[in-house]
Structure formats: structure tokens, C-alpha cells
A and B are shown apart, each in its own frame.
Chain A
Amino acid sequence: MTHNQYTLESPSAPRRTRLRELWQLFRENKLAILGLIIFVLFFMTAVSGVILTSGQRPVFDPAMVRLQEKLLPPLTRPHLESLHPTEVPTLGIYLFGTDDLGRDVFARMLQGAWVSLTVGFVAVGISVLVGIFMGGIAGYFGQEYICLDHILIAFILSAGGTLLSIGSIGSGSACLGVGLLCIVYRLFSKILGEKLQSPGLLHKKAISIDTIIMRAVDIMLCFPSFFLILTVVALVPASMYNIMIVIGLTSWMGTTRFVRAEFLSLREQDFVTAAKALGVGNFRIIFRHMMPNAVAPVLVSATIGIATAILTEAGLSFLGFGVPPPHATWGNILSDGKRFIFDAPWLTFIPGIGILIVVLCFNLFGEGLRDAMNPKLRERG
């Protein structure tokens, strides 16, 4: 007998985690790795930029005006005899030249990198959060209906609010009071455990939650988003944070559709029923049990969304609706430079190439991530 010659290895499941498997697939894509490297460099530049250009006496001062040194091309040495010692750039050279006010473009690019990075991340963060929330609700509670009386109460409440705000206190507070009374009555009857018998017509199912949210998505998608942003930016005071919020709040629709589609299939899975059978609440099921299963494709689209957000911010700044002037962003360096495009082309080319590289790297990274997560590709590998 020969079976003694073979020592059987005890069978064990592969120890490769999902993350490691993902990394191995990702690593094969050279362009995606390039994107990742540039992204890391950009991240470090932006973080060091915000440290080096802020404070009372920054290392690189983006706001230092030297009128005698205006429109110098890149890699020019400053005329030391005409400058005050504190005005000499730290590197001893204008790496990216100077603009029409003699400000160091390198320092301004450093400051602008932080704006691009935060706008990209915060705006996409907002849009992903809103998108996940709306998509989760639409996918999970989609079949629930909103009844006519809900709409009526909401209408009464908002009418009350409007009346109050235009000054008619009496009728406004009356409306609010009636609305609140309805809500309190409903809550009480729920606590007491009675099935509420609204008059027949009022309790008719009016519209499903899925319909409301997805039609809202359609409506938002109807507007060209850049013009929507321009309209909103014209109304709210311009600041970096408002720009982030506005960009975020006008780009959540794609994520919502994504998450809803994922949830429609996840909702039928056995582990959701199993979680329900354990007594887990609805919102905990949505955000703790189902969301981790749905979030991977969302993250991929988010990396590409960051590129779009950076581009949008640059476009807004270029048009003069972006971050207000003393603060440098890549977009407003570009727009300031366009007047001197024949005398000082570096003022448009340097921020332009900067935006190009960063957006390209995010796109490459995002696409690499998407390919690595694609199960069809995984089977081949």
C-alpha cells in the first residue's frame, strides 16, 4: 500500500482576504498604479502646501506682491538689488514664474492644490453621503406608500411656515398648530396600539417613496449641472465651503441610482431576512448590514467624481464665481492669466497642466479600481 507515502495536508480555505486579492489585480494595471502614485504625490503636495503657505510668516507667501518683478518666466532668478530681504522667494528662484502682480506662481499653486483637494474630497463626500442615504431609503423602503394625509399634513405645516415668514402671525401659527396637532394625534394613536381609522379618502395611498426619490433624481438630472451650480452660487455668498456644499448637493444623483439598484437586489438576499429575524432594526439593516455590500461600486464612481468636482471648481473659479480672489486656486490663477496668454503663457499653462494631471490621475485610478473589482475580470485572473 502506498497511501502512507503521502502526507495529507489538512484542507484549509485560502487565507487571501478580499483586499489583498483586489490589490493583486490592481497592481497589474500599470496606468492605475501611475494614477495612484500621482494621487499620493498630489495629496502630499496639498498637505505640505497648506502648511507652508499659511500662518503669519509663511515659507512661501502666495500673497506677496512685488510689482517690479511682474510677469517673469519660470526659473528666473529674482533681482535681489530691487527687493527687500523679506520679499525674496524662499527657493531663491521663481520656479513657476510670477504673475501680473509679481506674486510667486509656485506659492500660489501650492495654496491652490489644497483647495482642489478639499473641494474634490468634501464635495464628493457630501454627494456620496446624500446619495447613499437617498438610494438606501429608495431601495429599501421603496414599496412603502405615502398616504394623502401625510401630504396634507406636510402641506399644512409648510403653509403655516410660509404664512409666518411673510408676517401674518395669526393664520400662520394656526396652520402650524393644526399640523402639529395632527402629528401628535397620530403618534398617540400609534402608542396606544389602535389602528388609526382615517376617513377613507385621506388614507388612500398616494405615491410610493421610490417614486418620489427617483423622480427627484430625474428632475435634478434634467438641469445641466454646471448652470444649476452657477445659479446657486450667484445666490449664496462665495466662499470655499459654499462651493464644496453646492458641488456636493448637485452631484448625488448618480450615487443614488447606483445604491438603489444594488439595494433592490440585496433586499431579497437571505442574510437580510436573517438579520431581520435576529431583531435588527430597519436603519441598522440598511446602513450596517446592506451598505457594506453595496458600497464598493460607489467608491469607484466617487474617485471619478473627485476629478469632476476638481474640474467644476476650477471652471467656477475661472468664471469668477469660485473661491473669492485673495485665496489662490488653480482655476483663478488660470483665469487671471488668460489676459496675458501671449505675453506670459506659463500663467495659463502651469495651472492648466496641473489640473490635467490631477484629473487624469483620478480617472486612471478610478478606472483601475473598477476593473479590479469587476468579477468578470477576476475570473480570468
Chain B
Amino acid sequence: MLLSVQDLKVYFRGRDTVARAVDGISFDIRHGETVCLVGESGCGKTVSALTILDLIPRPPGEVMAGKVLFKGTDLLKLDDVGMQKIRGNHIAMVFQEPLTSLNPVFTIGNQIAEAILVHEEVGSEELRKRCIQLLKDIGIPSPEQRLKDYPHQMSGGQRQRVMIAMALACNPELIIADEPTTALDVTVQAQILNLMQSIQQTSAMSVLYITHDLGVVANIADRVYVMYAGIIAEQGDTAQIFNNPRHPYTQGLLASLPSRSRRGERLHSIPGKVPDPAYKPPGCPFHPRCPLAIESCKIQFPDMVEHGEGHLSRCPVTGD
């Protein structure tokens, strides 16, 4: 087990409210595996990812409970210096917006070099070679010239490639990719996904991929965790989730895929929206939107029900 998140709770304190952004989630990532966290906007995916690297702003954020075990050590107990040695070196992160995630005043060569220099002492000649090699690996043409470019001189896809190069700079064991293709158009998205898959195959690293795009999930994931309102609604292999979804939320998400609708029919959508994390409904948080909700859903917080090997769903109705 490479990374194991256990019963993590992250709350954000407002003036007189407490937003329970992540409310007790657990997931595991094994060596060399691609795990997807799926869910609508505002269901706590990004907060969980940022918490792994201790990047949530504190205050107002606060880790209330839980453990983040990375190869056996609890990352939440590390101090600043210990955490800095983990970041980038063992766990790297790729962000959603490649435009704003690169520093506008430095060349990309500088920024990739910085990613290496933070953790390793390298001579200037070797540093240059490694930067060029990284740019080659991620498929940027004529890397020697592009090293001198500033972020604004590159296209969105190229910038995201540079972000990936920076994440790869120190050969981390785990890459957390937080919706890395959301800001890109579909063709570039496919290229970036292929790139990530080929990198993963060659270097055998694990990937935690956060997305709301089920099409992407079907392409790359080994296992899937479906998140809703700060909890895990359903988890399982990609095949189990797509072929045999057991939670009504997962079923709704899959039915909302445009490819599953027939021509001339209205597109399916789940009514309502994700509850405000400060005012979650009691019982199952999904019950106001759930077509199968029964009386007990309004009172009783559901337990995980097992449907097969590693296939769990937090719904008592479909469980029977």
C-alpha cells in the first residue's frame, strides 16, 4: 500500500458556520495504480487532494480527524520541514489551471530546474541536460529553445506538459493530478491523458486522478472512488462501477453521460445540486436528490454495503 487515507475529516470554519468539506473519507492507492476520485464540483475532491500534501490554508481549514499514511508514516503528523521533503520528492501535484500555476516572471527552464534543485544538488551542466530530457519526455518539440520561453509564450497544452515535467522532475512515487485536463480542449486532453498513461507505464508510479469527467475515468482508471458531499458514495474497480453501479448517485452520473442518451431525447440530469457543505441534510446527504430514497434515508447515515470484491456502496436501498 503506497498511500492510505483513513477516515479523513477536513472542516472549514466560517464566522458562525462550519463547512464540512471532507467528512470522513477513506481510500487506498497501491503501487503503480491509477485511482480516480470522481464527483460533482464542490464535493470535496480537491480539498482531499490538497490535504494529502498539507496545502489547505489553515486557518480557516482544519483537519479534524483521520490519518494520511504514506508508506506507513502519517503525513498529518509531520512538521513543515518533513513535509517539504515529501512534497515534490515523493508526492508531486499537477494543478487544474496551467496558466496560473506557472510563475509568469521565470522561464520554464528556470522553473523546471527549480523543481529539481529543491530536492537535489545538481551541477549546472547536468541540470540543463535533465531539463532538456524532461521536456523531451513530455513531448515538447525543440526543447533547447523552449527552455528560454516564458509561460505566456506557450499554449495551454504545452503549459500543462511543463507542469507535468515539473511534477516528474524528482521521480515521485505518487502524482496527484487535480483535474489536469479541465482547462484544455478535447484533443489536447486526449494527448495529455496518453502522456500520463505512458509515463505511468514507463516509470511505474501511482496516480491519484481527480476529475468530474467520467469519460476520462473510463479511459485511465484502475479503481474509482465516487465522492458526494464529502463522503465516498461508492468505490470499486472501473469495470464494476461502470457496468454495475449500485449507488443511485453513480447511476445518475452515468445516466447523465451524453453518449447514453438517444437522439431526440432530453439529456438526463440529476435534479437539484450538491448541498452546501455547511448545511448538509441529515441522514444520507444524497436523499433530497435520490429517486430511490425511503424514510430511513432521512434519519440514518448509511453504512457501506459490499457488492463484490472491493465493490462497496453507501446505499441500503440498492444493497438488498
Could you tell me which A residues sit within 8 Å of B by CB distance? 13-15, 17, 143, 190, 193, 269-271, 273-282, 284, 288-289, 292-293
* B87 cross-chain contacts in A, Cβ below 8 A: 276-279
Residues of A within 8 A of B88 (CB): 277-280
Q: Which residue of B lies closest to A274 (CB)?
A: B101
**Which A-B residue pairs are the 5 nearest by beta carbons?**
A279-B87, A279-B88, A13-B153, A278-B88, A270-B100
Nearest CB of chain B from residue A310's CB, rounded to whole Å: 30
Q: How near does chain A come to B16, taking the closest CB pair, in angstroms?
A: 19
User: B150 — which chain A residues lie within 8 A by C-beta?
Assistant: 17
B86 contacts partner chain A, Cβ-Cβ < 8 Å: yes
- Contact in complex: B79, A278 (CB < 8 Å): no
Please indicate which of the listed interface residues A193, A274, A281 has the most CB atoms of chain B within 10 Å of its own CB: A274
Interface contact A193-B79, CB-CB below 8 Å:
yes
B208 CB within 8 Å of chain A: no
- A280 and B84: CB pair below 8 A? yes
State A89–B118 Cα separation when bound (angstroms): 61
Within 8 Å CB of B267, what residues of A?
Answer: none
Structural contact, A278 and B118, CB atoms closer than 8 A: yes
* Chain A proximity mask over B55-72: 1 for CB below 8 Å, otherwise 0: 100010000000000000
Q: Is A293 a contact of B105 with CB atoms below 8 Å?
A: yes
- B105 to chain A: which residues have CB within 8 Å? 292-293
Chain A hits for B50, CB < 8 A: 273
- Least distance between B146 CB and chain A CB atoms (Å): 11
The answer for the CA separation of A14 and B154 in the assembled complex, in Å, is: 10
- Residue numbers in B under 8 Å from A269 (CB-CB): 100
Cross-chain contact B79 with A280 (CB below 8 angstroms):
no
- Look across to chain B and name the residue whose beta carbon is closest to the beta carbon of A269: B100
Q: Are B84 and A281 in contact (CB under 8 A)?
A: yes
- A270-B95, A278-B114, A289-B103 known; A143 and B59 CB under 8 Å? yes
A293 to B84, CA, bound (A): 23
Q: Is the CB of A279 within 8 A of B89?
A: yes
* Closest partner residue, chain B, to A12 (CB atom): B153
Interface residues of B in 287-316 (CB under 8 A from A): none
Interface string of B144-165 (1 = CB under 8 A from A): 0000011011100000000100
- Are A279 and B118 also in contact (CB < 8 A) when A292-B105, A293-B105 are? yes
Q: Identify the closest chain B residue to A290 (Cβ).
A: B103
Q: Are B84 and A271 in contact (CB under 8 A)?
A: no
CB of A13 within 8 A of CB of B154, answer yes
Q: Please, how many angstroms separate the alpha-carbon atoms of A278 and B119 in the complex?
A: 9
Residue in A closest to B96 when the chains form the complex, CB atoms: A270
Are A271 and B115 in contact, CB atoms less than 8 angstroms apart? no
A282 touches B118 (CB 8 A): no
Residues of B within 8 A of A270 (CB): 95, 97, 100-101
What CA separation (Å) do A365 and B153 show in the bound complex?
30
CA distance A193 to B79 in the complex (A): 8
B79 to chain A, nearest CB (A): 7
Known A193-B79, A292-B106; judge A271-B86 contact (CB<8 A).
no
Residues from chain A with a CB closer than 8 A to the CB of B102 are 271, 274
CB distance from B119 to the nearest CB of A (A): 6
How far in angstroms is the closest Cβ of chain B from A12?
Answer: 8
Q: A271-B102, A274-B166, A277-B93 are in contact. List 13 more A-B contacts (CB 8 A).
A: A17-B150, A193-B77, A270-B100, A274-B95, A274-B101, A275-B114, A276-B53, A278-B115, A279-B84, A279-B89, A279-B119, A280-B88, A282-B80
Q: Which residue of B lies closest to A191 (CB)?
A: B79
Q: Provide the bound-state CA to CA distance between A176 and B80, in Å.
A: 29
User: Across the interface, which residues of A come within 8 angstroms of B106, CB to CB?
Assistant: 292
